[in-house]
Amino acid sequence: MIDRINKITAELLPSVIDIRHRLHSMPELACREFQTARLIKEVLSQTSLKILDPFIGTDVVGILHGIESGKNVTLRADIDALPLQEKNNRPYASKIPGLMHGCGHDGHTAILLGTALLLSRIRENIKGSVRFVFQPGEEVLAAGKKLVECGILENPSADLVLALHSWPGLPTGQLSSKTGPIMAAAEFFKIVIRGKGGHGSQPHNTIDPIPVAAKIIEAMQSIVSRMTDPLHPVVISICRIAGGENANVIPDNVELEGTVRYYNRTIGAGIPELIENTVAGICRIFGASYEFSYDKSYIPTINHDETAVFSEKTTQKWLGEKFWTPLERPSMAGEDFAYYLEKHNGAFLMIGNGENSAVLHNSNFDFNDDALRNGIIFLTGATLDYLAS
């Protein structure tokens, strides 16, 4: 069977590369992936998948039923792009100003389409069903949460969920993962400090929100170092400051926006209150007021131990031992595949984009076509092995 899968993959690869390039050239933002969804459906029309009605809009979900009843494997790829201006000059570079596939979602989608084409050819070897989820809005919106809430993993219930993500720095085509936490929660907050503006020469007649903001930023570093368990990592970053328009005018307001990252949900549950208490206390001292909002977008992505081990064995069987690299430590980046794993057995894996690859979310990033083959073979092999077990 391995030889047959390798042969079919080799036959499909030129068209999968072409699909990847077409996707790369037409990036679309979260939940606006209209052309992307049309292209996905166009490719899936060549298969025996049953295409379901959209759950939330631009999602495309197809189910391939085998010749016998059995378990369900659900495979997911994210399809949205980023608001970045591409700096690559490749023939298939983004044709949309200010948008590009800077996180590898074009490659993830091409791998999943290639897997659908392949498994459709060998349907007689499938016992059970395979659900293919082409998910919109992974970036910022965490649309995976809404899809799961809408029942995307039910009827049939998913017995195994898998997803791949391109990973710069990892050798091309290498598969890597680990047991337990692999990606962090990603939460976002906004603080508006309201003071009383005035002339820069008369600060005593104002409530200057700028030094208030400075004190808040300084004090928030103590939340991690003094208010949370040091054995459970937490990151709090202020990533945006906005206040004032002139060099001699003290502004009325200052805005701060930032992000919180952690792995332990019990620790994370207390972070919003710690931030707000810090803001409230400092504003009270200076006589300022504030508005505070907090968005819990992404929960931690936690692999199921048995599936992480299964993924390693699958890689070694179908690709060879040299294509597995144990992931030494998790990432503080966020990923909405976490919601698929919350109540269903599964794993999130990295696929190498090369040691010299530009980093993710960078204007020079491009998914490495040489990784497509291993992604398709891994997902195919994992599906066949799990359904046969």
Q: Model confidence over 31-77: pLDDT tens digits?
A: 999 999 999 999 999 999 999 999 999 999 999 999 999 999 999 99
Helix axes 305-318, 2-25, angle to 10 degrees: 110
In a 10 Å sphere around its CB, with 0-12 CB exposed, 13-18 middle and 19+ buried, how is residue 271 labelled?
buried
Q: Model confidence over 236-252: pLDDT tens digits?
A: 999 999 999 999 999 99
Domain with CATH 3.30.70.360 in the chain: 185-298
d(CA 208, CA 193): 10
d(CA 121, CA 304): 30
CATH 3.30.70.360: does it fit domain 185-298? yes
In a 10 Å sphere around its CB, with 0-12 CB exposed, 13-18 middle and 19+ buried, how is residue 156 labelled?
middle
- For the residues 151-165, what does the mean pLDDT come to? 98
- Average pLDDT over the chain, rounded to an integer: 97
Q: In what order do the strands lie in the sheet with 50-51?
A: 50-51, 60-65, 127-135, 68-78, 160-167, 346-352, 175-176
Whole-prediction pTM: 0.95
Domain with CATH 3.40.630.10 in the chain: 2-184+300-388
| 201 — pLDDT class (breaks 50, 70, 90) | very high
What percent of the chain shows pLDDT beyond 70? 100
The per-residue pLDDT for 137 is: 98
Report which secondary-structure segment, H or E, holds 194. strand 185-194
* DSSP three-state, residue 83: coil
- For the residues 281-295, what does the mean pLDDT come to? 98
Q: Tell me the pairing of strands 301-303 and 180-183.
A: antiparallel
Domain covering 2-184+300-388: architecture: 3-Layer(aba) Sandwich (3.40)
| 342 — pLDDT class (breaks 50, 70, 90) | very high
240 phi, psi to nearest 5 deg: -150, 130
Q: Model confidence over 33-43: pLDDT tens digits?
A: 999 999 999 99
